[in-house]
Homo-oligomer: A and B are copies of this chain.
Amino acid sequence: MKKSDKKITIKDIAQRSGVSIGTVDRVIHNRGEVSSKTMKKVLRVTKVLNFQPDILASALASKKKVRLATLMPAVDNDSSFWKAPNLGIEKALKEIEHYGVTHSKYLFSISDRNSFIAEAEKVLSDNPDGLLIAPSLQNEALELAKICNAKKIPFVFFNSNISNQNQVCYVGQDSKQSGIVGAKLMDYGLSKGSEILVVSIFRFLKNNNHILNRKQGFLQYFESNKASRFKITSIEINSLDAGDIYKALRNIFNIHPKIKGIFVTNSRVFHVARFIEASNLRGINLIGYDLTDENIPYLEKGVINFLIDQKPVEQSYRAIIALFNKVVLKKNVPEEILLPIDIVIKENLKYYE
């Protein structure tokens, strides 16, 4: 709190070291052409005076341009989830544009692996100074990560993660824990002996740990806590076609007509809500993910009881800032930035939209 009043500048440290400010700049940025003797001297003074460079002045004087890029899914016509990250990216860019940061976006289709590969190639040929990746198609993203490492392009994963790829950082939710939260909410509201259904809907389920982990977390909660209270059934639907999904749900309800709780492992929960409405089912506890345009009306109507929000806007915002900190400010960035598992009901919805 009481720090010395006057801001100390490279001028001060130049004087105290008996060199010119140009030399000070060289040692601060470690760009060589300095004798080890003066190097040491300057570094010492730097420490002693606790010099903090003024990054505003630095940005002003520097003509350097930094090019960032983002590779993420396009909004598909099934779910609008991927609209939100754009807002976070834009917000972050606005804050850092004064630092000479530019940005390009590359969009792939979440149901088309080839589109991922094509866009990844474009990114690589543009050779950005830093890359933001949503690795929703895990196998393909893994390949990309390897190439980035080879080309020394620092990258941040956001929304979902792949462990140990030398990413600068992962920004997103702990997917398994979010499943546990879903389970707790289910447990809290369901009466003893009820039957529960877990629904996973994704084109390439085996290729997406994010969704699998949620299911695992959900199941684990009941295994460890109250194995006997509920009977749990799971289905996987490897299609985004509304007809296919409807058929699969109708089929499972024919077999298990007494299901009273449904947990959907991603934003496709609205399909289940539609099914419930169309089938005129009553008293079903429905929990899913994400405040998408498709889901929100069902939360408001009470067909969906809880939506778990992953803060998609903040994810991309924080991810860009993390990349900026690493690439531009050379700051240390934490390996993981885990965002809250927000529990959204009709009554607190408007503060998350």
Residues of chain A touching chain B, judged by Cβ–Cβ distance below 8 Å, are 54-57, 59-60, 98, 174, 177-178, 180-181, 184-185, 188-189, 191, 305, 338-343, 345-348, 351-352
Contact = CB atoms under 8 A, between A and B. Distances in A.
27 contacts: A54-B60, A55-B98, A56-B56, A56-B59, A56-B60, A56-B98, A60-B60, A178-B348, A180-B347, A181-B345, A181-B347, A181-B348, A184-B346, A184-B347, A185-B345, A188-B189, A188-B305, A191-B191, A340-B351, A340-B352, A341-B347, A341-B348, A342-B342, A342-B343, A343-B343, A343-B345, A343-B348
Contact of A177 (B178, B341, B347): B347
Contacts of A185: 345
Contacts of A59: 56
A343 B184 CA distance: 13
A62 to B, nearest CB: 11
Contacts of A188: 188-189, 305
Contacts of A348: 177-178, 181, 340-343
A206 to B, nearest CB: 27
B345 A342 contact: no
A159 to B, nearest CB: 16
A304 to B, nearest CB: 13
For chain A, what secondary structure do more than half of its interface residues adopt (helix, strand, loop), or is it mixed? Answer: helix
A338 B55 CA distance: 32
Contacts of A341: 347-348, 351
Given A342-B342, A342-B348, 6 more contacts: A54-B60, A56-B60, A181-B348, A184-B346, A185-B345, A188-B189
Contacts of A345: 181, 184-185, 343
A345 B338 CA distance: 17
Contacts of A54: 60, 98
Contacts of A184: 345-347
Count chain B CB atoms within 10 A of each CB in A60, A189, A338, A348 and give the residue with the most: A348
A298 to B, nearest CB: 16
Contacts of A55: 98
A339 B348 CA distance: 10
A337 to B, nearest CB: 11
A181 B348 CA distance: 7
A10 to B, nearest CB: 14
A339 B351 CA distance: 6
A314 B84 CA distance: 21
Contacts of A351: 174, 338-341
Contacts of A178: 348
A347 B305 CA distance: 18
A263 to B, nearest CB: 14
A188 to B, nearest CB: 5
Contacts of A346: 184
Contacts of A98: 54-56
A254 to B, nearest CB: 29
Nearest to A339: B351
